[in-house]
Amino acid sequence: MARFIEDSTDAPVSPGLYIVATPIGNLGDISHRALEVLSSVDLIACEDTRVSLKLLTHYGIKKPLLSYHDHNARSAGPKILSTLAKGQAVALISDAGTPLISDPGYRLVADARAEGHRVIPIPGACAFVAAVSASGLPTDKVMFLGFSPPKSVARKQFVTPYQRLEATLVLYESPNRLVAALTDFADILGDRQAAICVN
């Protein structure tokens, strides 16, 4: 299985799907390698072309963009796979941070690997890793849960299985629901240390 995941020290770019992390708040938080890849691929698949264009314009990168998100994955995915099948290189980026971490892309990566295409991670910014590193909470055991459900009952059910887990739990939450979510989490998880981090 791991044969399709390539070492990210390869010289840019050979054919394959590049999973490229982008900045999560400061445009300077992107690696030289990521910029090389984005400058060299044949196509950039991005969550929102308007958001990605700001980053790419900032660095003078002009490449064809294809919108790829949860709502168009069924139509956009085959276009990306077709590009890969022609022996070309495609970068997948999200609006901010590492693709597939609470962002679209899982099905695309699974399909690309199933078809025998190389999948190359280009590491960089990740909001939950940055949050854990600055939280002051234990980092030896961390469980990332992604976004919690928007409704209170579902949110409580979502965290209930982790009541007794001795680990730092990391969740993403909308600022508009933050107070309600923290109340629900306290009801289920009890009195425990917490940190609120904003990217």
Q: How far apart are CA 68 and CA 80, in angstroms?
A: 9
Q: Which of 5, 80, 6 is nearest to 43 (CA)?
A: 80
2-122 and 127-189: same fold?
no
What is the 8-class DSSP label of residue 191? S
pLDDT surpassing 80 at residue 3: no
Q: Which residues lie across from 17 on neighbouring strands?
A: 90, 119
Q: Which residues lie across from 89 on neighbouring strands?
A: 16
- Domain spans in the chain, listed from the N-terminal domain onward: 2-122, 127-189
pLDDT for 116-155, tens place per residue?
A: 999 999 999 999 999 999 999 999 999 999 999 999 999 9
Please work out, in degrees rounded to the nearest 5, the angle formed at the alpha carbon of residue 72 by the alpha carbons of 90 and 79: 35
What pLDDT, on a 0 to 100 scale, did the predictor assign at position 57?
A: 97
What pLDDT, on a 0 to 100 scale, did the predictor assign at position 194?
A: 95
pLDDT for 153-194, tens place per residue?
A: 999 999 999 999 999 999 999 999 999 999 999 999 999 999
Q: How far apart are CA 105 and CA 69, in angstroms?
A: 8
What pLDDT, on a 0 to 100 scale, did the predictor assign at position 12?
A: 60
Looking at the domain covering 2-122, what would its CATH class be? Answer: alpha beta
CATH superfamily of the 127-189 domain: Tetrapyrrole methylase, C-terminal domain (3.30.950.10)
pLDDT for 5-41, tens place per residue?
A: 444 444 568 999 999 999 998 999 999 999 999 999 9
